[in-house]
Structure 1
Amino acid sequence: METLRDIVLYIHLIGFAVLFGSWLVEAVARRIRFTPLMTVGLTIAAVAGFALAAPWGIDHELNYVKITTKLVVLLIIGALLGIGGGRQKRTGSVPPAMFWAVGVLTLLNAGLAVIWR
């Protein structure tokens, strides 16, 4: 069971890698915009994160403070992608503060997943 949990954790990190990688491509190209791949990465990370938050019959306690913190950050990223994507469709651009916040919060959330035990 622990191996399956490790695989789900790996998928969770891949979701963040997809989100951050697609964000980084846009940042390096100096295109301040959100792409559908960012939403795909967020969805992968969210689904795997919810699976990780479920009690798997493990012998240790779940860290509910960490789970809640990561969920709040994930919801903020999702809100920024949703609001920014809507503005992007209407006006053709995303506010730079929203774009950069998504990158910073994605790194924060991935860091929380790896560092906070």
Structure 2
Amino acid sequence: MDALEILRQVVVLVHLSGFALLFGAWAVEVFNRRVQVTSLMSIGLSISFVAGLILAAPWGIPYELNYVKIVVKLVVLLVIGALLGVGSSRQRKGGTVPPAVFWLVGILTLLNAAIALLWR
């Protein structure tokens, strides 16, 4: 394994860590029966987004990147970001996060992971 492939694998680990932070923060809120958006969710989303963009760059790998899959994952990630934005905006204004928005964040986060693993 050359140095470039090791670096790419480190970026994959960072990408997965961002997902884990986003989903884990969401799961904590579910466990505590709170319907709210936290800053950890946004941080996890940001880490996942930046690392995903880095992974979408050509690394000189011997196989073709699946750009359709990358775009689908990006769209799902942007929708999650929009939902987090709506939820945090409502919270700042003293309101509550609509339960549908909260649950969609978790469902779409899990969907994004499923796309990553199952789409070949």
TM-score, length basis structure 2: 0.94
Aligned residue type for 2:55: L
Aligned residue type for 1:48: A
Which aligned pairs between 1:45-84 and structure 2 lie closer than 5 A?
45-84=48-87
Deviation for aligned residue 1:114: 2.2
Deviation for aligned residue 1:115: 2.4
Match in the other structure for 1:3 = 6
SS in 1 for 2:83: helix
Aligned residue type for 1:23: W
**Most deviating of 80-89 and 70-79:** 80-89
Aligned residue type for 1:10: L
Identical-residue share of aligned pairs (%): 62
Distance in 2 between the 1:108 and 1:7 partners?
Answer: 23
Cα deviation code 1:53-95 (max 9, x no counterpart): 0001111111011000000000000000001110111133100
Match in the other structure for 1:112 = 115
Distance in 2 between the 1:103 and 1:4 partners?
Answer: 29
**Most deviating of 24-33 and 5-14:** 5-14
Runs of 4+ aligned structure 1 residues displaced above 6 Å come to none
Q: Report the RMSD for the aligned CA atoms in angstroms.
A: 0.9
TM-score, length basis structure 1: 0.96
Distance in 1 between the 2:93 and 2:60 partners?
Answer: 47
Cα deviation code 1:3-34 (max 9, x no counterpart): 21111111111100000000000011110000
Which aligned pairs between 1:98-109 and structure 2 lie closer than 5 A?
98-109=101-112
Gaps of 5+ in 2: none
Given candidates 9, 12, 15, the residue that maps to 1:12 is: 15
Gaps of 5+ in 1: none
Matched, 1:33 2:6: no
